[in-house]
Amino acid sequence: MSTTAGSPPVVVTLAEIARIAGVGRAAVSNWRRRYDNFPSPVGGTETSPHFSLPQVEEWLRRENKLKTGVNPLERLWPEYESLGNRETTGLLVAQVGLRQSSVKAGRPAVEPLLDQRQARLLERTLELAEPDEKHSIFDLLLERWLRTHVRQITTTPVQLARLMAQAAVMNHPGPVRTVLDPACGVGTLLVAAGRQWGADRAAGLSFLGQDSDAVLVELAKAHLAVSGFAERDLSNVSLAVGDTLRADAHPGAQADVVLSNPPSNERDWGHAELATDPRWVYGQPPRTEPELAWVQHAAATLAPGGIAVLVLPPGVAARRAGRRIRAGLLRSGVLRTVIALPPGAAPPYGVGLHLWILCADGAEGLGGADRAELTFVDTTHGGGPESVDRGGVDWSAVTAQIVGVLGGTSTQGSVSVPVVDLLDDQVDLTPARRVPRTRAATIVDLRRLWTRFDAHMRELRDAADALSALVPADGDETVPLISVGELERAGALEIRTGQGLPESLVRRGERQEDEAHVLTGAPLSGQAQLWLPASAVAAGKQDGSLTVTASQDVIVSVLARAFDVRVDTDAPSVLGPQLAALRANPAVLDPWFLSGCLRAPANVHRAGTHASTTSRIDVRRLHIPRLTLEEQRQYGEIYRKITTFEHELTDMKSVGGELSRALGDLLAAGQLPRA
């Protein structure tokens, strides 16, 4: 495979070599060890080396390692990645979809300006497309592009998009002419809407959307086109680039259905400049409540009888700052249903998100059909005891539960509460606080807890077996020590102290995509969840105003009363002023050995100032033994096991407490089996 002169080299990782060869990654690692003529890395790192694609393909052919039946696009994708940036690659993927669909897209939101190399890659890609599977090539490229940039782009899972469209049709049984997604991304929800109302009826369906990322808008157009929901001239598709809250591209739009997964936890959403916006019928959203701005925008764009289904973080249902707006939505009858989804349904996967269903003022709707009531649905236990061990989200069970409640054929895990009972000082709309727990739900919790408890028990037993086999060395031989200050002067490590933080940008709550953890002091574990956006971290790192860790940095809390040390395995982290980062030179110093030795209680007495209860540790006065690198690694491995032992003990205590409470609930209800 030739490379155009002057263009970046096409490189691949071990995982990509495995996909090209149609084998597992372990097989590629074995080839590297067994074959002296395996291509040498041309870049990357020791843990993630990069190899020249032409050299790899030549070696695979020479050694007869290429399996038949491997998708040719697996060999083509590295060339897309070598184009150099997210925008260029994304626009080329969009061009593949639009060209395949033979639509006349008009002038794109961002002019692709394909150079000779990109144009040739586009033509080669289209030549690989199977005539009877015209969608697969675009779907594969889009999936790979999204996977590559997963930290920058949040997408709605297909299963959730399908569920949202189904919930909308349950509340809007009549004809649908216009569907809107004001934060459309790559068009997953718009495509789900097209599929819900059928390709044969989509000819009369108009798709409206907007996103601040021009590349995503082009991909959304291509997504609709290859799915068969766009006219040849895209006359039924109006997707615009821009900030929907600040500059709505579809003012006065009257949508029959709004489906959206809007951005959350954004502080700079236009709070001050939009203070008098007519969309704020139920009150101006506080600066800390951007999600309620999106809710009111969706309500303002609904046609009479229209339905909106939005994905929202659970905090929107309970935060005190938004209680006045929630009360207004309830009094008007616009908010009809709040559904709690199980964790893992959508990013961020560790949080159980909510679906809010809004009906245009005056619409009859389903679910909370009586405007004097709000329907709560809790699907977090909807899978039933038999599905606990399968892992992930049981979408069929969750969908069946929601459809049953909205259709009026089931009340499983739901309750309808009079609006007047919700209009208290909190206006808390969290389903878990309203839906009664069932015996089946408690059994689900028990099985999940026992599964977690057993996993912690196994890890704890493995660590205990390894540590209990250790025998202290005989003799009174003293190992010479060396101070951190001496190690710094010798170039074995670098000390970087924490700095003041931009408080206005620090955000509390669950982590969003592409955010860095902020550490403010001791204890290093169990701190409040504080985050900084990637843009602020990058700027602070570049101008030196922030201390940002790298993987394997050793973080030290310098307060003597709460001295703590740990290896940062979740880098990057941003350190506050009571912390320091030690970056070891891996050629002479093992970070796990360093962390374990620094943590010794004797070091605190040796290095503390003893001035007061607020005395600080002088990091440079901490000492470690002088050992060879091989000995350090042996000690470092022991410290890893000690760390695992401590973490598993802590987790077992937490899970054990939850188990005790769940068993106590069943005992108090007389629902434990009799002897």
Question: d(Cα 342, Cα 314) in Å, to the nearest integer?
Answer: 11
Indicate whether 6 pLDDT > 60. no
- What's the pLDDT score for residue 607? 59
Question: d(Cα 498, Cα 555) in Å, to the nearest integer?
Answer: 10
Q: How confident is the model at residue 5 (pLDDT cuts 50, 70, 90)?
A: very low
User: Do 552 and 541 contact (CB within 8 A), yes or no?
Assistant: no
User: Do 584 and 554 contact (CB within 8 A), yes or no?
Assistant: yes
Q: Structure tokens of 273?
A: 């400049």
Instruction: Name the average pLDDT for the chain.
Output: 83
- What's the pLDDT score for residue 132? 47
Q: How far is CA 381 from CA 4, 30, 384, in A?
A: 56, 44, 6
Tell me the pLDDT tens digit for each residue of 563-584: 888 898 888 889 988 889 999 9
Pairing between β-strand 507-508 and β-strand 530-533 as defined by DSSP bridges? antiparallel
- What's the pLDDT score for residue 391? 45
* Planar angle of CA 280, 509, 498, nearest 5 degrees: 125
Indicate whether 460 pLDDT > 50. yes
Place of tokens 């504080």: 530
**Which conformational region is residue 281 in: left (phi greater than 0), alpha (psi within -120 to 50 degrees), or beta?**
alpha
Indicate whether 281 pLDDT > 60. yes
State whether residue 475 is helix, strand or coil. coil
* Planar angle of CA 194, 197, 203, nearest 5 degrees: 65
Helix axes 25-34, 14-21, angle to 10 degrees: 100
Indicate whether 239 pLDDT > 90. yes
Contacts within 8 Å (CB) and 24+ apart, 411-414: 412/382, 413/377, 413/378, 413/379, 413/381, 413/382, 413/438, 413/441, 414/375, 414/376, 414/377, 414/378
Mean pLDDT of 132-142: 73
Tell me the pLDDT tens digit for each residue of 324-353: 999 999 999 999 999 999 988 988 887 889
Tell me the pLDDT tens digit for each residue of 634-666: 999 999 889 889 889 988 898 888 888 878 777
Indicate whether 475 pLDDT > 60. yes
- What's the pLDDT score for residue 63? 86
User: Do 177 and 236 contact (CB within 8 A), yes or no?
Assistant: no
φ and ψ at residue 507, rounded to 5 degrees: -120, 140
Burial class for 563, CB neighbours closer than 10 Å (0-12, 13-18, 19+): buried
HSE, CB side, 13 Å, CA atoms: give it for residue 26. Answer: 0
Indicate whether 94 pLDDT > 60. yes
Mean pLDDT of 237-248: 95
Indicate whether 302 pLDDT > 70. yes
Mean pLDDT of 263-271: 88
Mean pLDDT of 544-555: 89
Percent of the chain at pLDDT exceeding 70: 84
Mean pLDDT of 99-117: 68
- What's the pLDDT score for residue 340? 95
Mean pLDDT of 507-529: 69
Indicate whether 242 pLDDT > 50. yes
Hey, which residues does 608 pair with through a beta bridge? 617
- What's the pLDDT score for residue 269? 93
Indicate whether 2 pLDDT > 60. no
Higher per-residue pLDDT: 46 or 291:
291
- What's the pLDDT score for residue 334? 95
Mean pLDDT of 443-471: 85
The residue type of 485 is G
Higher per-residue pLDDT: 470 or 601:
470
User: Do 493 and 594 contact (CB within 8 A), yes or no?
Assistant: yes
- What's the pLDDT score for residue 563? 80
User: Do 505 and 267 contact (CB within 8 A), yes or no?
Assistant: yes
Hey, which residues does 167 pair with through a beta bridge? none
HSE, CB side, 13 Å, CA atoms: give it for residue 430. Answer: 12
Mean pLDDT of 64-84: 69
Burial class for 633, CB neighbours closer than 10 Å (0-12, 13-18, 19+): middle
Tell me the pLDDT tens digit for each residue of 530-545: 888 887 888 888 888 8
- What's the pLDDT score for residue 131? 55
- What's the pLDDT score for residue 19? 75
Tell me the pLDDT tens digit for each residue of 165-215: 999 999 887 889 999 999 999 999 999 999 988 655 445 799 999 999 999
Indicate whether 71 pLDDT > 80. no
Q: What is the DSSP string of 151-213?
A: TT-----HHHHHHHHHHHHHH--S---EEEETT-TTSHHHHHHHHHS-TTTGGG-EEEEEES-
Neighbour tally for 547: CB within 10 Å: 23
- What's the pLDDT score for residue 276? 93
Given CA atoms 556, 561, 562, 566 in this order, what sign does their dihedral have?
Answer: positive
- What's the pLDDT score for residue 612? 47
Hey, which residues does 181 pair with through a beta bridge? 209
- What's the pLDDT score for residue 366? 46
Indicate whether 367 pLDDT > 70. no
Residues 6+ apart with CB under 8 A from 403: 166, 167, 170
- What's the pLDDT score for residue 279? 95
Given CA atoms 42, 44, 49, 54 in this order, what sign does their dihedral have?
Answer: negative
> How much is the CA Rg of the chain, to the nearest whole Å?
29
The residue type of 326 is R
Indicate whether 674 pLDDT > 80. no
Question: d(Cα 412, Cα 315) in Å, to the nearest integer?
Answer: 24
- What's the pLDDT score for residue 389? 38
Count, in order, helices (H) and strands (E) of the chain: 20, 23
Higher per-residue pLDDT: 442 or 266:
266
Mean pLDDT of 141-149: 85
Percent of the chain at pLDDT exceeding 90: 37
Helix axes 591-598, 629-668, angle to 10 degrees: 70
Q: How confident is the model at residue 384 (pLDDT cuts 50, 70, 90)?
A: very low
Stated as kind and residue range, the H or E segment containing 642 is: helix 629-668
State whether residue 384 is helix, strand or coil. coil
User: Do 479 and 534 contact (CB within 8 A), yes or no?
Assistant: no
- Ranking 301-305, 370-374, 390-394 by mean pLDDT, the lowest is 390-394
Pairing between β-strand 335-340 and β-strand 373-378 as defined by DSSP bridges? parallel
- What's the pLDDT score for residue 49? 84
